[in-house]
Amino acid sequence: MVMQSALVGEFYVEHNSWLHKWLSKKVGSTFDAADLTQDTFMRLLSKVETEQIVEPRAYLTKIAHGLMANFLRRRDIETAYLNALAALGGSQDAYSGQSLENQQILLERIIALDCMLSGLSHNARAAFLLHRVDGMSYAEIALELGVTVSSIKKYIAKALLHCASAA
């Protein structure tokens, strides 16, 4: 483990600045890039066979890209949530007026729901959300999606089974 830490330390000294610049260009924020850079090296520390890494930049890029994709998805979900609040006549103050802990819990729940539903087809996901979140009837959803009520029943059943297996 000592050898691994030393190797990661070398990678950090040699590639930290480059990785930070690369991430800054991708995410548009030096602060977020700094966090992602640190997370990348922390992830590298947890790898068991770092001495076998032949192309450190390629390896670091692969780890950083995965972390960045999660970060950007999370940011998009938060933005969509705040936009939905505003569109519904709600206020972002309702969100920002909560404690940071409550904001984080709410965002984590939304992200968990998004991840849970990500394995579904577009129609199954839309039918499930329209029924559970918007309270629409099967007939209303069928009209909205341009499919039969029978299809909506199948979509929602599939979504429920998917959620039950993911939980």
Nearest to 14 by CA among 33, 46, 41: 41
pLDDT given for residue 4 in this prediction: 62
Residue bearing the bigger pLDDT, 5 or 25 = 25
Distances (CA, A) of 115 to 82, 112, 129: 18, 5, 13
CATH code: domain of residue 146: 1.10.10.10
Domain-embedded: residue 99: no
- Triad 48, 61, 77: Cα angle to 5°: 105
Domain-embedded: residue 146: yes
Q: What is the dihedral of CA 123, 126, 132, 134, to 10 degrees?
A: -140
The answer to whether residues 72 and 130 belong to one domain is no
pLDDT digits (tens, 9 = 90+) for 103-146: 778 778 777 777 778 888 889 988 988 898 888 899 999 999 99
How far is it, in rounded angstroms, from Cα 101 to Cα 108? 10
How far is it, in rounded angstroms, from Cα 73 to Cα 81? 12
The answer to whether residues 70 and 123 belong to one domain is no
Asked if residue 3 has pLDDT above 70, the reply is no
The answer to whether residues 123 and 69 belong to one domain is no
pLDDT given for residue 89 in this prediction: 59
- Which of 76, 106, 141 corresponds to the end of one domain? 76
Domain extent for 57: 2-76
pLDDT given for residue 22 in this prediction: 95
pLDDT digits (tens, 9 = 90+) for 23-74: 999 999 999 999 999 999 898 888 757 667 788 899 899 999 999 998 888 8
Number of domains within the chain: 2
